[in-house]
Structure 1
Amino acid sequence: MAKKAITINKLIFFFKRQIWRHSYVRFKDNPLIYIAQRLYLVFNGLFVERHWGYAAQLTYNTLMALVPMFAAILAIARGFGFEDYIVEWCRQLFANQPNTAKVVLNLAKSYINYTHTGVILGISLVWMLYSVISLFNNIEAVFNGIWGVKKERSMGRAITDYVSILIFLPLTLILLSGLSIFFQSVIGHLPEFQLLTPILQELISFMLPLSILTLLFISMYTLLPNTKVRVSMIFIPALMAAFSIIIIQSIYIHCQVFFASYNLIYGSLAALPLLMLWLQLSWYICIGFAELGRANQELTDGRYIGEMRKDSPREKLRKACVIMSIMGRRQMNAEGPTDAQLLQQLTSYTYTQIMRSINDLIKAKLITKTLNENNIEVFTLNHDSSKLTMGFIIRSLLGTKARQRKNSTSLHINDNEETLLNKHFDNYIKSIDSIAVTKLTNKKDY
C-alpha cells in the first residue's frame, strides 16, 4: 500500500508540478512533456470543470431537433433539386442503423408535408427553424463553456450565422457526394489494374467519410465558439475525432449479433435507445477532442506556462511598466487598443504573466478592458501617454498605504521611522517622475 501511495503521489507531482517547469514545448523536442501537458488540461476540463456532462445535455437536444434538422436540410436540398443526394447521405450516415435512417427520413418527409399543407403554415415553419437554431445555440453554449467564453453572440448575429450554416450544409453534402461518385466512376474505368482498383476503392471508402467528418469537426470547433480558434490548433483533434467516430461505427457493425438480439427484445423501440447511445458517444468524442484543441491553443499561447512560478514584486512592476510603455507608444501612433496576444508577441511574456500585469493595471485604474467587434478582450489607456511617467505608474500600482486605527492593539510602526521611509519613497518617486514611460522600450521594436 505504501509503494502504491508513493507511486500515486509521484504521478500527481509529475502532472501538477514537474511538467510545468518547462517553457513552451514542441513535440519533437520533448514528446513526453508535450503529451502530458495536454492530457492534464483535457482531464482538468472534462472532470474538474465537469465539461463531460455536456454530452448528456447535447444528446437530448440533438434528439429533439433531429427530425426538424433533417427536414430543414431535406427541404433546402429539394429546392435545389438534390433531394436524392441528401437521402443517400442520410442512409450512409446511419449505415449501421438502417431502421433509424428509415424512421428519420419518413418523419422528416412527413414534417415537410405537414409544414407545406398545414393550416398553420407559418407557425410550423417558425417552429422548425426554432428547433434547429436552438440546437446550434445549445452547441455554441457548450463550446463557449469549454473555451471559457462568457459572452455569447447577439441574437441577430446568431440567427444569421445559423441560417447560413443551415443553407450551406446541404450544398456541401451534395458537393462531397458528387466527388464520391466522381472518384468511384474513375476507379470503375481502371479495370486493367485488377490489384490496384480494390485497394483504391477501399482507400476512398475510408478517406472520404474521414475527410467529411474532419471538415465537420473543424467547422464546429472554429465557427461555433464565440472566440477566435485557429485551424492549426484544432486540425489534429478534428482528425482524431473523425477517426474515433469511424472506429465506433466499425465496432457497431462487428457487434451486429448483439444488437440483433436487442432488436428482437425491444422491437421497433430498439432504434431509439441505440440512436441515443450512438449520439452520446459521438458527443463524448466531440467534447473530448474540443478540450484537446483548447489545450493546444492555450499551451501554444503560453497560458499555463508560468502558473507554478511567481514573479517577485520588482519583476511584477517591471512587466507592468513594459506593458504600459507598449500601450503608450501604440496610443501615440494611433494604432488602437491592444490585446493579450499582441502583448505576448512583443514581450515574449507568457499569457499568465501578461494577464496578471493587466489585472494589476486595471485595479490601479491605469487601463480599461473592453471587447472589440470580434468579441476579443482589448485594453486601452485611461490617460494621455505623453503625460505618463514612471513615477506616476509606480505610485498607482503600489497604491496608498493602509491607515492604522489609533485604538488598535496591534503593533505600530515607529512614527519617526515611518516618516523617514515615506520621505525617501516620495523622493524616489520624484526622481523617476522625469522618465516618460514610453521611453522604457525601444522604438525599433514596434
Structure 2
Amino acid sequence: ETTSFTIETIIKLVNNSLEHAKGGVFAGIGVILLLYTVILLFSDIENSFNRIWGVKKGRSIQRRAVDYFALILLLPIFAVLNYSLTALIQASTGPFDKFSYILDPVVTQVLNFLPFLVMIITLTLLYRFMPNTKVKWASALIGGIVGGVAIQLFQMIYLNGQLWIAKYNAIYGAFAAIPLLLLWVQMSWFIVLIGAELSYSAQNVRKFSFDRETKNISRRFRDFFTIMIASVIVRRFAEGETPLTADQISMKCKIPIKLTNDIIDELHKLQVILPTPTPDDDRVMAYQPALDINLLTVNDLIEQIDKEGSEDFLIDVEGDFARHWNALMHTRMSVYESPSDIMLKDL
C-alpha cells in the first residue's frame, strides 16, 4: 500500500508539473502571437497614414520597436479609460446619476466631456507621431478633434444600441453583439482615416493648387518637373547649402506635395539622389545628389527615366517590330546624344 501510495503521489506530481509546463508554453506562445498581431496592426496603421501623407518609406526596425512599444503601453490605457467613462456616463445606473444632485452642473458637464477629451488626445497623438514624417501639432489637433468627436458620438450610439437590444430581447441581444462590434470597429477605423486626411489637408492646404491636374499630368510636364526638382537639389549641393526636404522643394518649385514626393521617390530609385535625416527630426528626410554633380546632365537624366522599369517582354524588337523599335530609338537617341546637353547644376 505504501508503495502504491508513493507511485500515485509521484504520478500526480509529474502530471501537475507537465500541466504547468504546458500552460507556460501555451501562455508564452499566446503572448508572442498577440505581440506579433499588435505589431502587424500598428504596421498597417503606419502604412495607411504614410500613404495619406505621401510617404514612401516606413520607419526603420529600431524606430518601430521603440515607437510601437510606447503605443502598446499607452493606447490600451487610453482605450480602457475612454470606454469606461463612456459606459459609466451612458449607463442609467452609473455613479454620475446617483450624485448628480450634489455635483455642480459645470462639473457634470466636464465629466461628460472627459471621454471626448480622452479620444481627442489619443487621435491627436496618433496623427502626430504615427506617420513617418513631421506633422505639425495644429494639423494633428484638427484631425484629432474632428475624428475624436465623431468616434465618441458613434461609440455612444453603439453602446445605447447594444443596451437597448439587450433589454429588448436577451437572445437577440447576444446574437447582435458580434455584428454590432464589427460595425463599430469598421466605422471607427473609417473615421480615423478621415481624421488623418483632415490632418494632411490642414497642413498642406496651400499646396493643393493644381493637385487635380497632377493626376492626369502629361509626360513632358512630368519630365519638366523632374528636371526642375533634380536641378534644385544639385544646385543646393553645388553652392554648399543645406539640403531641402520634400516640403521645402514643393514650396520652392510650387509643385503639389504628392507629385513632389512621387518624383523624389523616382529620382531615389534611379539613384540620382539620396535621402539624409534632418537635424531636427530624423523622420524627415532632406535630399542631396547621389552622383558626381559634374556628370549629371539633362540628357542623362531623361535617358535614365526612359529606361526605368522592366523591359522583359516576350516581343522581338529585332524581328516583326524592328521598324517600330528603331523609329523610337532613333528619336530617343537624338535626345540622349544631343550636342546641346546641359548640366543640371547650371540650370
Question: By the TM > 0.5 criterion, same fold?
Answer: yes
Contact 2:273 2:288 in 1 (8 A): yes
Distance 1:206 1:289, change over 3 A: same
Structure 1 residues 312 and 266: CA distance shift in structure 2, 3 A: closer
Please give the alpha-carbon distance, in whole angstroms, between the structure 2 residues aligned to 1:162 and 1:318.
40
Q: Which residue of 1 aligns with 2:302?
A: 397
Q: Distance in 2 between matches of 1:141 and 1:401?
A: 33
SS of corresponding position for 1:380: strand
For residue 340 of structure 2, what is the amino acid of its counterpart?
Answer: Y
Alignment of 1:263-302 (within 5 A): 263=170, 265=171, 270=174, 274=177, 277-278=180-181, 280-294=183-197, 296-297=199-200, 300=205, 301-302=207-208
Tell me the C-alpha RMSD between the 2 structures: 5.0
* 1:376-395 equivalence runs, <5 A: 379-385=287-293, 387=294, 392-395=297-300
The answer for the alignment partner of 1:354 in structure 2 is 260
Q: Which moved more, 1:316-325 or 1:122-131?
A: 122-131
Distance, in Å, in 2 between the alignment partners of 1:401 and 1:258 is 62
Instruction: Map 1:323-338; keep pairs closer than 5 Å.
Output: 323-332=229-238, 338=244
Rounded Cα–Cα distance in structure 2 between residues aligned with 1:238 and 1:336:
33
Letter of the structure 2 residue corresponding to residue 397 of structure 1? I
Aligned mates of 2:324, 2:66 — CA distance in 1: 65
Structure 2 residue 48 is matched with structure 1 residue 145: yes
Q: Which residue of 2 aligns with 1:306?
A: 213
CA distance in 1, matches of 2:197, 2:305: 40
The equivalent of 1:102 in structure 2 is none
The Cα of 1:211 is off from its aligned counterpart by 0.5
1:135 equivalent to 2:135? Answer no
Q: Shift of residue 370 of structure 1?
A: 5.0
**Cα displacement (A) at 1:208:** 1.2
Q: Is 1:211 equivalent to 2:123 in the alignment?
A: no
The corresponding residue for 1:242 is: 148
Distance 1:426 1:121, change over 3 A: closer
CA shift for structure 1 position 227: 4.6
- Aligned partners of 2:323, 2:168: CA distance in 1, in Å? 78
CA offset at residue 289 of structure 1? 3.3
Give 1:427 shift: 4.4
Structure 1 match to 2:169 = 262
Q: 1:323 to 1:170 in 2, by over 3 A?
A: closer
- Say whether 1:202 aligns with 2:202: no
| Residue 214 (structure 1) shift | 0.9
User: How far does residue 312 in structure 1 lie from its aligned partner after superposition?
Assistant: 7.2
Show the 5 A alignment for 1:38-437.
124=27, 127-128=30-31, 130-132=33-35, 134-148=37-51, 153=59, 156-168=62-74, 197-198=104-105, 200-252=106-158, 254-255=160-161, 256-263=163-170, 265=171, 270=174, 274=177, 277-278=180-181, 280-294=183-197, 296-297=199-200, 300=205, 301-302=207-208, 304-308=211-215, 310=217, 313=220, 316=222, 318-332=224-238, 338-355=244-261, 357-358=263-264, 361=267, 365=270, 367-370=272-275, 372=277, 374=282, 379-385=287-293, 387=294, 392-397=297-302, 410=323, 426-429=338-341, 433=342, 437=344
Cα distance in structure 2, aligned partners of 1:437 and 1:155:
35
The CA deviation at 1:343 is: 0.9
CA distance in 1, matches of 2:325, 2:62: 60
Give how far 1:288 is off. Answer: 3.0
Change (3 A) 1:324 1:225: closer
Q: How far, CA to CA, are the matches of 2:159 and 2:73 in structure 1?
A: 32
Residues 127 and 322 (structure 1), Cα distance of their counterparts in 2 relative to 1, 3 Å cut? same
Question: Partners in 1 of 2:72 and 2:339 — Cα distance?
Answer: 67
Secondary structure at 2:288 match in 1: strand
Q: Which runs of 5+ in 1 are unaligned?
A: 1-117, 177-183, 441-446
In structure 2, the residue matched to 1:73 is none
**Could you tell me how far 1:397 is from its partner in structure 2?**
1.5
Cα deviations by residue, 1:110-159 (Å, 9 ceiling, x for unpaired):
xxxxxxxx656587367446525632531431441353266554555444
Displacement after TM superposition at 1:344 (Å): 0.7
Give CA-to-partner distance per residue, 1:388-411, whole Å, 9 cap, x none.
57xx32354257999x96987858
Shift of 1:422: 5.5
Q: Percent identity?
A: 16
Q: Which amino acid aligns with 1:285?
A: S
Q: Give the unaligned 5+ runs of structure 2.
A: 1-19, 83-94, 308-316
Q: Secondary structure at the match of 1:306?
A: helix
Contact kept, 8 Å, 1:218 with 1:234, in 2: the verdict is yes
Task: Assess if the C-alpha contact under 8 Å between 1:221 and 1:234 holds in 2.
Answer: yes
Q: Is the 8 A contact 1:305 1:352 kept in 2?
A: no
SS across alignment from 2:217: coil
Higher relative contact order (CA 8 A, sep 6+): 1
Aligned to 1:66: none
When the two structures are superposed, what TM-score results if normalisation uses the length of structure 1? Answer: 0.49
